[in-house]
Amino acid sequence: MTAALSASGWLFLVVAFGAIVPIVPTGAAVSATAAYAFHLHAYAVVPVVLAGAAGAYVGDLVMYALCRFGGEQLARRLRWLRDETRLAGVRDRLRSRQVPVLLVSRLIPGGRVPVLLAAAFAGLPWRTFVVANLPACLLWSAVYATIGLLGGSLFPEPWQGVAAAVVIILLVNQSITWFSKRRATGAPARGRS
């Protein structure tokens, strides 16, 4: 069990860092750690879910603070702000449904940063963000840990489960990205007819 707790501690750090530096594959880290923990003890997955959620939550708070205090100038300098039309749409959805938008943004690859930017630029109060982001981080961590459990339970060796979890995450992320791009390119064409 100490190995699982140690892995969870490292996971917290990786996910918190990855939430601030969005190039780190945090979902794959949660899935791989869950697959590894599953082979140690079935209950060892619970600290993985909690560590992943806590890391995501802390990282999101830092990102939100950067977005709130750094503003659009910082977002442009770090190349976070790419599509202002999309950002305006996200901002409108956030005003009407804060919690669902935050939940979904954590689950869609590349969806978190635009939502954090839109929330910060729209002036979403800290208290609202702090409360609304908690279930989003818990759900995100539980979903990716479940994928890791699937990979871990299919194979007898921990390294096989970890590899399977990472491959599953990559396939799911690529599929969602492909579908989103396809849908985005098809939307303008349908709108004109």
- Where are the alpha helices (H) located in the chain, listed in sequence order? 2-20, 26-40, 45-77, 84-96, 98-107, 112-121, 126-154, 158-192
Residues 6+ positions from 103 with CB-CB distance below 8 Å: 135, 136, 139
Q: How far apart (Å, rounded) are the C-alpha atoms in residues 69 and 89?
A: 22
Domain boundaries, the chain: 2-192
> What is the longest distance spanned by two Cα atoms in the chain?
61
pLDDT digits (tens), the chain, 193 positions: 576 567 788 999 999 998 888 788 888 889 888 888 888 877 888 999 999 999 999 999 998 888 888 766 666 665 555 556 555 665 666 666 666 777 777 777 777 777 777 777 777 788 888 888 898 899 999 988 988 888 777 777 767 777 777 777 777 767 766 776 676 676 554 444 4
Classified as helix, coil or strand, 30 is helix
* Residue for token pair 């976070």: 80
